[in-house]
Structure 1
Amino acid sequence: MIRFEDVSVTYEGAAGPAVQGVDFEVPEGELVLLVGPSGTGKSTVLNSVSGLVPHFTGGTLRGRVTVAGRDTRSHRPRELADVVGTVGQDPLAHFVTDTVEDELAYGMESLGIAPAVMRRRVEETLDLLGLAELRDRAIATLSGGQRQRVAIGSVLTPHPAVLVLDEPTSALDPAAAEEVLAVLQRLVHDLGTTVLLAEHRLERVVQYADRVVLLPGDGAAPVCGTPAEVMAVSPVCPPVVELGRLAGWSPLPMTVRDARRRATATGLRERLAGRVPEQRPATGPAAPLAEVRSLGVRRGRVDALRGVDLTVAAGETVALMGRNGAGKSTLLGALVGLVEPGSGTVRVGGAVPHRTRPRDLVRLVGLVPQEPRDLLYADTVGAECAAADRDAGAAAGTCRGLVSELLPGVADGTHPRDLSEGQRLALALAVVLTARPPLLLLDEPTRGLDYAAKARLVGVLRGLAADGHAIVLATHDVELAAELAHRVVLLAEGEVIADGPTDDIVVSSPSFAPQVTKILAPERWLTVAQVREALA
């Protein structure tokens, strides 16, 4: 169905090709997973299937890409739209209409599908993706995860033969991600749809893939094979595979179920019996940096937050978790002054955020939003760093040093729009950290980050917490919460439903438990690093 024949893509002004030597085939009715470190060209490969590369992005494409027999060099994206449905990393760039139902119908209208068929398919898609309650909502009022589901739904309604998805679960809560992946499974197995997707959260998707294609980067040719074959050599792998490597299991497990059986059969559980995972040092009785009392926020007809209480102390890392639309981003917005409380109070460092001048507030609290481009306005990475130093009153080179730590190898002359989604997020984080605010807020900070980049981020945030900074992050990444958070606060329908130490909350939650916890339950292990330290 999709054929790459010795494909390389070089963008104008680039020192070398974004990808080269890409040569593989995706048969009809298979789900193929594209993996690799950030910046190795996964989005370029995906966009070449829909014809966006090179017709929209520019650059030079060598070799040949064919989809259902159509050569993408001679067929523009509009001439492939009846065959290929594409969702990129940024759902906002995907939308054309204002409401959910109109967006689901738009692609079918463009293809001239009969109104009666359109109505039926819209209803089916609303049910498939759990969007029925949102059908009349304005897209601008949706959470990031809800927008992601709408974007996926809008390409499902025309029933394309090929689906191309870039980070389809990155902004979804665990339950919503399972729903989307279950839909993709049904399309592949029942309807013969061909799916090519790139995803950094491999713990969610690797077990569903028929085959995996690894883009190693540095000019190396892609590696193709079964999930177990590729994961054995991949520099990026989910915790279940990392635990398998640590324990010396062969073949490597791809699912929690297989790993649980292997942990029992190989004696790993016995070796860990009686040992207690090393706990993160609890924060001392530090003065609270942020206090939220009985906070209520109403957005249109929706109570986004109701009676929320939260205290965050210096040196503490708190993970806000919960399903899409639970109010996590709204709470962060209230802490940074972007959202005015309808009731209750919010104080940060003694100040009321929404009544504090931005130039004063930036020295108290910093927010890295879900959409990093909201913070980036310069033409180059170097100019962005210089502006951040000036705005924060920091020594020259401060921001550049943070960028080098988070994004090794990115040149000063690179335009932010030429970075991958994860790289842009790391740049935005460096810009915010330049002012070294006592309270740091992050909204989905690992979206688009591979495991190595996530490990670097964890190292930076742990260092900040050790220096006395308070960190609040809204995340669906259960592995990040397990690695980093002292506390987890669960939100549902705008209310706090649980607040406690990370292991207390996630061990008892089927949805928010990390893979290692599920494998070694009922013991309270959270990460592979804890297991490695215990075995050592």
Structure 2
Amino acid sequence: MSLSHVTIHYPDAAEAALRDVDLEIEEGELVLVIGRTGSGKSTLLGTLNGHVPHFTGGRLSGRVRVLGRDTATHRPRDLADVIGVVGQDPLAGFVTDTVEEELAYGMEQLALPPATMRKRVEETLDLLGIADLRAAPLRDLSGGQQQRVAIGSVLAAHPRILVLDEPTSALDPTGAEEVLATLTRLVHDLGVTVVVAEHRLERVVQYADRVVEVVDGTVRDGIPSAIFETASVAPPVLDLGRYAGWSPLPVTIRDARRAAAPLRARLGDQGTSASRGRSNQQTSLGVQISLTSASRGSSASPGVRARGVRVDYGGVRAVADVDLDLPAGRVTALMGRNGAGKSSLLWALHGTGTRTAGRVSLADGRDPAGLKPGVRRGAIGLVPQTATDLLYLDTVAAECRQADTESSRDSGTCARLLEELAPGIPGDRHPRDLSEGQKLALVLAVQLTAGPQVLLLDEPTRGLDYPAKARLADTLRGLA
């Protein structure tokens, strides 16, 4: 693939989304695309199969060529036999009802023989560990399961180029490792070209041959160590390397472990072994070890109390008789594998999701399920995995004004919250044109405008870069 002097202008946008981009991607490379939230990563990926501008609108100058085909004269459907794309929102790309049908759909459009399709569907189900979901309705899957199906639907067609936008954002660590290991095998064994945009850099950087950084619509590329030296975003381990004064800076955990060997030797075995198993004591590095917030918060009054909560979908039990107290004034993390029932539990606690049995009560004893929407908004908020479900107006400013009005807040309250979470989002921008991280920030600002006593967040860091995650953490700590 090659991009030559590519510039993208979206309608009504003051600045170009991409500016004079020159980039060559070789066959059999795994290329990692990085950049701050809203920097233009998704636009760059969209140009590779003609989605930008054929579907999004806007004006493209310059030339994009994919295996010799010019995207100016070849629409996305004309490139579907050689390039597969997985977007940030899996649901947006689904066109069938069940997992098996979705895996086969792309191959049907390419007119592959039925025997070949059946074989590849079986291979993909096994490869991604979703064989037990074969007949499951797509709408009933967790976000992580949907993401696996979206990746599988592209892999099954055996494209020569794979473009993936945040492919691990909804996956648990084990699932992310499995998917990335699969992509790596495709690169090394079959010569497939893989282009990945990802915010969780620590997951992907060890597999990358090259890194492309997008900064305000401009692009630079190079080997990972060279780019991350001065990149606007970098894996957390790089900050550790700077703090420790290591040179060269570590890019992966493996690099850091090697660099840390002399440090471990200086600390000695005595200090490290003495610190093991103790809490509330100083380590040899002077870091205070404290009890977990869960144990410290056990005596706090509950902001939400659940007793015997059960959620059933048909014959499937998603949540089984859960007893749970969420302490007021605390930030509580809900953990579990993809499909464990985390989202179902959050919706049941919120009062708008399915609850087959059990009771949920707020600090004042009210059950959220019995509250009117306006009252519930000020008592308990929920930011869902698919943030766009809560965005329905034409501009960011309109969404914020509506939030202020519905919550009886002073004008500008929502806009100020949004600026704290994701600075610089234009008020006249359509919410659907925002990056996934910006959409999430907007929905969170809308929810916070109501001042709920309880805030539930489902995958709140999905699509956020490291600085945005830090701002979100500061906001949540301040609220608690």
Runs (4 or more) in structure 1 with deviation over 4 Å come to 278-285
| SS across alignment from 2:112 | coil
Q: Kindly report which structure 2 residues correspond to 1:4-403, keeping only aligned pairs within 5 A, or say none.
A: 4-217=3-216, 221-267=218-264, 270=267, 273=284, 275-277=286-288, 279=290, 282-283=296-297, 285-349=299-363, 350-403=365-418
Identify which range, 16-25 or 188-197, moves more after superposition: 16-25
* Preserved contact between residue 83 and residue 161 of structure 2 (Cα < 8 Å): yes
Deviation of 1:286 after TM superposition, in Å, equals 3.4
Partner residue of 2:276? none
* Preserved contact between residue 263 and residue 269 of structure 1 (Cα < 8 Å): no
The whole-number CA distance in structure 2 between the counterparts of 1:143 and 1:248 is 42
The whole-number CA distance in structure 2 between the counterparts of 1:284 and 1:99 is 42
* Preserved contact between residue 85 and residue 163 of structure 1 (Cα < 8 Å): yes
Deviation of 1:108 after TM superposition, in Å, equals 0.5
The whole-number CA distance in structure 1 between the counterparts of 2:263 and 2:18 is 41
The whole-number CA distance in structure 2 between the counterparts of 1:284 and 1:337 is 24
* Preserved contact between residue 306 and residue 324 of structure 2 (Cα < 8 Å): yes
Matched, 1:463 2:478: yes
Deviation of 1:285 after TM superposition, in Å, equals 4.3
Distance 1:343 1:268, change over 3 A: farther
The whole-number CA distance in structure 1 between the counterparts of 2:265 and 2:400 is 47
The whole-number CA distance in structure 2 between the counterparts of 1:232 and 1:444 is 29
What CA deviation, in whole Å up to 9, does each residue of 1:223-244 have, x standing for no partner?
2111111111111111112211
Partner residue of 1:454? 469
> Structure 1 length as normaliser, TM-score?
0.84
* Preserved contact between residue 311 and residue 320 of structure 2 (Cα < 8 Å): yes
**2:328 maps to amino acid:** A
* Preserved contact between residue 214 and residue 222 of structure 1 (Cα < 8 Å): yes
Identify which range, 303-312 or 200-209, moves more after superposition: 303-312
* Preserved contact between residue 107 and residue 117 of structure 2 (Cα < 8 Å): yes
Partner residue of 1:426? 441
The whole-number CA distance in structure 2 between the counterparts of 1:258 and 1:360 is 52
* Preserved contact between residue 298 and residue 304 of structure 1 (Cα < 8 Å): yes
What CA deviation, in whole Å up to 9, does each residue of 1:194-218 have, x standing for no partner?
001100010110111000011122x
1:407 to 415, 422, 436: 422
Deviation of 1:305 after TM superposition, in Å, equals 0.8
The whole-number CA distance in structure 1 between the counterparts of 2:415 and 2:253 is 40
* Preserved contact between residue 334 and residue 353 of structure 1 (Cα < 8 Å): no
The whole-number CA distance in structure 2 between the counterparts of 1:267 and 1:204 is 25
The whole-number CA distance in structure 2 between the counterparts of 1:427 and 1:340 is 26
| SS across alignment from 1:432 | helix
* Preserved contact between residue 295 and residue 344 of structure 1 (Cα < 8 Å): yes
**2:223 maps to amino acid:** T
* Preserved contact between residue 367 and residue 432 of structure 1 (Cα < 8 Å): yes
* Preserved contact between residue 386 and residue 397 of structure 1 (Cα < 8 Å): yes
Distance 1:4 1:291, change over 3 A: same
Distance 1:58 1:288, change over 3 A: same
Deviation of 1:251 after TM superposition, in Å, equals 2.0
Deviation of 1:342 after TM superposition, in Å, equals 2.0
Deviation of 1:283 after TM superposition, in Å, equals 4.7
The whole-number CA distance in structure 2 between the counterparts of 1:334 and 1:380 is 31
Deviation of 1:150 after TM superposition, in Å, equals 0.4
* Preserved contact between residue 344 and residue 354 of structure 2 (Cα < 8 Å): no
Percentage of identical aligned residues? 59
**1:288 maps to amino acid:** P
The whole-number CA distance in structure 2 between the counterparts of 1:340 and 1:356 is 15
The whole-number CA distance in structure 2 between the counterparts of 1:101 and 1:275 is 54
The whole-number CA distance in structure 2 between the counterparts of 1:395 and 1:285 is 36
Deviation of 1:275 after TM superposition, in Å, equals 3.0
Deviation of 1:295 after TM superposition, in Å, equals 1.7
The whole-number CA distance in structure 1 between the counterparts of 2:130 and 2:286 is 45
**2:86 maps to amino acid:** V
The whole-number CA distance in structure 1 between the counterparts of 2:245 and 2:81 is 47
Distance 1:340 1:105, change over 3 A: closer
The whole-number CA distance in structure 1 between the counterparts of 2:472 and 2:172 is 20
What residue ranges of structure 2 are gaps of 5+ in the alignment?
269-282
What CA deviation, in whole Å up to 9, does each residue of 1:360-413 have, x standing for no partner?
211210001111111111111111111101111111111111011112111221
* Preserved contact between residue 90 and residue 150 of structure 2 (Cα < 8 Å): yes
What CA deviation, in whole Å up to 9, does each residue of 1:417-465 have, x standing for no partner?
1111110100000000001111000010011111111111111111101
The number of residues matched between the two structures is: 462
**1:293 maps to amino acid:** R
* Preserved contact between residue 335 and residue 348 of structure 1 (Cα < 8 Å): no
The whole-number CA distance in structure 1 between the counterparts of 2:86 and 2:338 is 19
The whole-number CA distance in structure 2 between the counterparts of 1:268 and 1:296 is 52
Deviation of 1:276 after TM superposition, in Å, equals 3.3
The whole-number CA distance in structure 1 between the counterparts of 2:203 and 2:288 is 25
Deviation of 1:356 after TM superposition, in Å, equals 2.1
What residue ranges of structure 1 are gaps of 5+ in the alignment?
466-536
The whole-number CA distance in structure 2 between the counterparts of 1:421 and 1:106 is 26
Deviation of 1:269 after TM superposition, in Å, equals 6.9
Deviation of 1:21 after TM superposition, in Å, equals 2.5
Deviation of 1:54 after TM superposition, in Å, equals 1.1
